[in-house]
Amino acid sequence: MIKILFVCHGNICRSTMAEFIMKDIVTKQDLADKFHIESSATHTDEIWNGQGSPVYPPARAKLREYGIGVPGNELGVNEKRARLTSRTDYDKFDFIIGMDSANIRDLNRLFGGDPENKIYKMLEFADRTGDVADPWYTGNFDDTWRDCSEGCHGLFRSILTDRKYVNYLSDEDDSDFSESEGYSGEGLIHDDFPRG
């Protein structure tokens, strides 16, 4: 499986939106069985006595607006609870994607660096610089949706065109990753997920 971890400060807004946008993308492409996607926090602000907070209601509402977290496409939104990123996550995931510069600093500190080049900033995949808009402070979930959607689509395209993953994604036998010619993206079932 291709394992992706999205990370933000509290794991109730940005990283959870990215988690479920990405789950929706791979589900629509009939590739959900090839991916394991989670999200986590760099701080315990939303974790009390070992119990994480659910997805922040305005973030949940924005997901529902785009057909995520609704009957027939629930994807685990209702069960999602904030969790803290652990040191062992570095070995578990292929992509560890922070929403902003502070997340990247926290992740490098937690993991003691990034020797395998697994840590990315979300907007790298949207061919933009800067941080994903934090709706906790702005209240603007439209900007956060746009940033997360563009980042997730860019990440998905990056994976589809990476020679490391192309055979794994196209083979039915679930074989390990292997090198092959790059994938053109022509096999996409559709790529019409709204970008906000």
Residue 150 parent element (H or E): helix 141-160
Q: Of the candidates 120, 112, 123, which has an alpha carbon nearest to the alpha carbon of residue 150?
A: 123
Burial 19-46 (b: 16+ CB within 10 A, else e): bbbbbbbbebbebeebbebbbbbbbeeb
The catalytic residues are 8, 14, 134
